[in-house]
Structure 1
Amino acid sequence: MSGESKVPNPITGDVLVRGFDRHMGVRFVSASRDEVILEYDVDERHLQPYGIVHGGMHCATIETACSTGAGLDAMQRGLTVVGVENHTSFVRAVRAGTIRVTATPITRGRRTQLWEATARDAQGQIVATGRVRLLCLQPGTELGGAPVPRPGSSEE
């Protein structure tokens, strides 16, 4: 399983990147309840027709970073989180290189959390910024037709 990040999934507690993040080559550099850093190397999967990183990729990686941090925080209270709002601004076009996304909390309340993230290119220039609001959920709350699993459980 080479190439997989070894950071706890805030929902299941496992340590493998899955689904979209895995498919898109996202790697976690570090993750805690106070800061999450992830990165990816730009390749064909990430580009829109003009040959620059698709805005949806910036939105997705900003949401991944913010959701991971919020999830790690919520786990300490036996909760999980789900994103309810993502506002991402595209600052500079990127065609190649490594993008690094750093997310930190603005506020961590009982019911919601607000996180902000900045995506930078290999030269340290800001390429996108975003804020993600997340809702804290109790285990068993129905979401998408199924109950939310207990943090750290293997249920999915």
Structure 2
Amino acid sequence: MKYTNQEILAACNKMCQNTLMETLNIEFTQIGDDFLIAKMPVTPRVHQPDGVLHGGASVALAESVGSAGAYFFLNSDEVTIRGIEIAANHVKSIRDGYVYAHASIIHKGRTTQLWQIKITNEDGALISLIKLTTIALPNKK
């Protein structure tokens, strides 16, 4: 079944309810043919002790947007997506505002997918660069 971009964004945001994504206030905002974007507020809830964005929160944001992208771009209700490898480089700190995760698909295989996620601040400066590999597992019947 083919979904519209607005339907996909609505479904992504609905999937966040009662999950870590809701706890982190992640909101999916844009989608294109080969990318998905989500934003997350940078507040004390996602800070490390010295008052800057925790790298783990950045990685959680990246895996959330990459996994959601894999699920919808495969366009199949017959699979479950799991992250199987993630690597992050944190290059700039941020204390407040929003960060934006722009997930672009590098490889769209039937079983494995490779994603690049750039996390930027509101001015477009790179905060983290993350590579995510996902796997599509068949749903158990």
Shift of 1:34: 2.0
Larger radius of gyration: 1
Distance 2:77 2:23 in 1: 30
SS of residue paired to 2:123: coil
CA–CA distance in structure 2, aligned partners of residues 125 and 98 of structure 1: 12
SS of the aligned residue for 2:82 comes to strand
Distance 1:115 1:99, change over 3 A: same
Contact 1:52 1:93 in 2 (8 A): yes
What number of residue pairs does the alignment pair up? Answer: 133
1:127 matched residue in structure 2: 127
Query: Shift of the alpha carbon at 1:134?
Result: 0.6
Q: Quick check: which one's strand share is greater?
A: 2
Contact 2:40 2:61 in 1 (8 A): no
TM-score (norm: length of structure 2): 0.86
Contact kept in structure 2, 1:39 and 1:100, CA below 8 Å: yes
**2:6 corresponding residue in structure 1:** none
SS of equivalent residue, structure 1 residue 8 = helix
Task: Give the percent of matched residue pairs that are identical in Structure 1 and Structure 2.
Answer: 24
Distance across 2 between alignment mates of 1:127 and 1:48: 15
Q: Give SS of 1:62's match.
A: helix
Greater fraction helix:
2
State the match for 2:101 in structure 1. Answer: 101
TM-aligned CA deviation for residue 111 of structure 1:
1.4
Which position in structure 2 is the counterpart of 1:69? Answer: 69
